[in-house]
Amino acid sequence: MRVDVLNPEKQKIDNAQDFDIRQRMDIVIIGHVDHGKSTIVGRLLADTNSLPNGKLKQVKQLCERNSKPFEYAFLIDALKDEQSQGITIDAARVFFKTQCRDYIIIDAPGHIEFLKNMVTGASRAEAALLVIAADEGIQENSKRHGYLTSMLGIKQIAVLVNKMDRIGYNQDIFNKIVNDYSEFLKNIDVNPHCFIPVSGLIGDNIAEISNKMSWYTGDNILNTLDQFKKEEIPINKPFRMPIQDIYKFTKYNDNRRIIAGTIETGSINIGDEVIFCPSGKKSKVKTIEVFNSPEVPKVSAGQATGFTLEEQIYITRGEVMTKIGEAQPSLSSRIKVNLFWLGKKPMVKNKEYLFKIGTSRVKARLEEITRIIDASSLNAASDKNFIDRHDVSECILKLNKPFGFDLKEHITITSRFVIVDDYEICGGGLVRETLQDKESWMQNKVFIRNYKWEKGNISAKDRADKYKQDPALLLITGNDNLNRKKLAKKLEENMFHANKPVYFLGMSNLLYGLDADIKDGDKNRGEHIRRLAETVNILIDAGILTIVTASELTEDDIKLIKTSLAAEKIKTIWVGKDVTTDINFDLKLEQAHNIEQNSTKVYNYLKSENIFH
């Protein structure tokens, strides 16, 4: 591996105390238009001395000159313009710090037109401040925001009942809002941290406890923020890592094949057995790859990492790496979900959408709408046949192929998906339940077969060493039926006499035996191929080089075989001059009739591929 010329080794930090990285927390402040978010944030900045010197005085003087009453919200506006000279304020984010930690307050727009921006802002936060004006009370948007905040996964919520000065600091009005809104939140499983009666304008209960509400015994906003806990990294959940990519960079003779991704939950050690979902392929962690850092024996949730595996298996981006012995996702292509829709066009049935979960993407359709929930009243809306912009819905989605899902109840993070329509993310949701159907069945079988596969005491490596060969499937295809078979049988003969465990598997041997129950052969080509692959899988596991001939195989056929067999265990040979399908063969033999010569060519090819040791 190449090391840096300029940077041979990462600097060790010996003076750890001097190098103190402050904790940071992102908070979103949400509320209906004019319920006073900006005033509260302005107050918070002023009262924690987070403003540049003289700023407060300057804005106050400006107000005086224009003979309008000073408002703390003006501070936010003034600071926006001052971006280039001032510190850290902008339309979307306000930075301030307490003794405890650094904060970023994400100012989410309150207007319903900007709901997608509110969702974007809120999804980055670990906690939320929901603002309700005491004089106007709970608005439709207050409820919608509460609902979305909970769907986005924010668990820590403080409700600020603002403008208490406008209602004469009346305890009864405050209590009524607390009762009504608590009841609403309870229905959506949200348990707010607290309700705080505040006045952004006067500064009550912002950074200090107000003396105007002796009936209130709780904390102010500032202390409440410091009480919020950093979200725990979910290292105690089952291991999940969506595969981002398989890297095979050849520069500098790098021969590592690295499985790259970010661990969502759980942890993993070198030597742990892993299984990939939905393919069900298994292997073992050989190394954890790092660049310019000391080697590590273990990685866990939150880390962007890379592995090499003991046994090379064919997997691609989109699969989820999981650990054997831990709870597995459930495989399905029909799912019941909760989703919110942000698209300009409604979500409709009989239309193809793109469904993205983890790093996987698959085409999907809306099959059934169980109910549309009016996010502001929680009532089921009328029998709508589509999902409108800003609707929250419970519905069933049908995917083009099966995938492994975690359910919201088990692992929320990996139950989250988005839906893309016309290049744009238009909706997001959580998987609540997996429903069974035909296609899921097949994938499930392979997955369970691999998971349940019982090994004897002889490992694949033991057999390979003893037989001096890495067993594989030798797939001879092409449009010359006669010479294809002749070559296959000749190969078997030659290899047998060279003491190789080898077997020619005739297709008709399967067709009239194992496949005898399959009716309407042509329509069930997929099932024939699956059974062939399963049979070969057993022969290969026994260490035997298996030779099969088939006419004009396509890339789709090969793909199907690859769900059962590792890609590198399949060697394809095309016999004949003209290639009549889209297959990507490994070797082509143009002189179909020259059996002896072709047999030598194949033998040499297998030797060069290290099939024969």
Partner 1 sequence: MDYLDQLENKSIHILREAYANFKNMCMLWSIGKDSTVLLYLARKAFLGHVPFPLVHIDTAYKIPEMIEYRDKIATDWDVNIIYGQNEKALKSKQSFPDGNVDRITCCKLLKTTALNDTLSGNGKRYIFNHDKKAYELDKNNEPYTGVIVGVRSDEEGSRSKERYFSPRNQEHEWELGDQPPEFWNQFKTDFAPGTHLRIHPLLDWTELNIWEYIKRENIPVVSLYFDNGEGKRYRSLGCYPCTYSVDSNAKDVDDIIFELKSGKFANIAERSGRAQDKDDGGGLETLRKDGYM
Cis check: omega of the bond before 471, within 30 degrees of 0: no
Which residues are 545's β-sheet partners?
A: 502
Residue choice 21, 65, 297, 520 for contact with partner 1 (CB under 8 A): 21
CA atoms within 13 A on the CB side of 258: 19
Q: Is 254 in the site for partner 1 (CB under 8 A)?
A: yes
Binder among 17, 19, 295, 383 for partner 1 (CB under 8 A): 19
Q: Residues 171, 175, 176, CA angle at the centre, nearest 5°?
A: 120
Asked if 524 touches partner 1 (CB under 8 A), the answer is: no
**In the complex with partner 1, which residue's Cβ is closer, 2 or 519?**
2
Q: Does 416 bind partner 1 (CB under 8 A)?
A: yes
Residues 68-107 that bind partner 1 (CB under 8 A): 80-88, 90-93, 95
- Tokens encoding 347: 């979500």
In this structure, which amino acid lies at residue 608? S
Q: Which of residues 163-222 bind partner 1 (CB under 8 A)?
A: none
What tokens does 331 get?
A: 């495989």
| 3-state secondary structure at position 41 | helix
Distances (CA, A) of 434 to 58, 141, 346: 60, 32, 24
Question: Shortest distance, CB of residue 322 to partner 1, whole angstroms?
Answer: 18
Residues 560-589 that bind partner 1 (CB under 8 A): none
What is the C-alpha radius of gyration for the chain, rounded to an integer number of angstroms? Answer: 32
Nearer to partner 1, 336 or 416 (CB): 416
Closest to partner 1 by CB, 270 or 511 = 270
Residue 428 interacts with partner 1 (CB under 8 A): yes or no = yes
Query: How distant, in Å, are the alpha carbons of 15, 71, 174, 257 from that of 136?
Result: 54, 19, 12, 61
Strands (E), 342-442: 353-357, 360-373, 392-405, 416-421, 424-435
Q: How many residues interact with partner 1 (rule CB under 8 A)?
A: 72
Output the smallest distance, CB 123 to partner 1, in A. 3
Q: Does 593 bind partner 1 (CB under 8 A)?
A: no
> Applying CB under 8 A, does 34 fall inside the site for partner 1?
no
Q: Does residue 119 touch partner 1 according to CB under 8 A?
A: yes
CB of 423 to partner 1, least distance (A): 4
5 binds partner 1 (CB under 8 A): yes
Beta-carbon contacts of residue 195 (< 8 Å; ≥ 6 apart)? 158, 159, 160, 161, 174, 177, 178, 181, 182, 218
Site string for partner 1, 322-351 (x = CB under 8 A): --------------------x---------
Nearest to 74 by CA among 62, 88, 86, 84: 62
Least Cβ distance, residue 329 to partner 1 (angstroms): 17
Q: Which range binds partner 1 by CB under 8 A, 421-429, 548-556, 583-591, 599-607?
A: 421-429
Quote the crossing angle between the two packed helices 595-608 and 481-497, to the nearest 10°: 60
Separation of alpha carbons 325 and 275, rounded Å: 10
352 binds partner 1 (CB under 8 A): no
The interface with partner 1 within residues 127-166 (CB under 8 A) comprises 152
- Tell me the HSE value of 277 on the side-chain side, using a 13 A CA sphere: 28
CB nearer to partner 1: give 107 or 165.
107
Q: Verify binding: residue 10, partner 1, rule CB under 8 A.
A: yes
Q: How far is the CB of 54 from partner 1 (least distance, A)?
A: 11
- CB crowding 330-359: b at 16 or more within 10 Å, else e: bbbbbbbbbbbbbbeeebeeeeebbbbbbb
CB of 149 to partner 1, least distance (A): 12
Q: Binding partner 1 by CB under 8 A: which of 176, 256, 282, 365?
A: 256
Q: Rounded to whole angstroms, how far apart are CA atoms 462 and 451?
A: 21
Should residue 306 be labelled a site residue for partner 1 when binding is judged by CB under 8 A? yes
Piece of 113-121, 320-328, 397-405, 476-484 that binds partner 1 (CB under 8 A): 113-121
Cβ closer to partner 1: 88 or 385?
Answer: 88
Query: Binding partner 1 by CB under 8 A: which of 188, 258, 510, 567?
Result: 258
Alpha carbon of residue 234 to chain centroid? 14
| Residue 295 engages partner 1 in binding (rule: CB under 8 A) | no
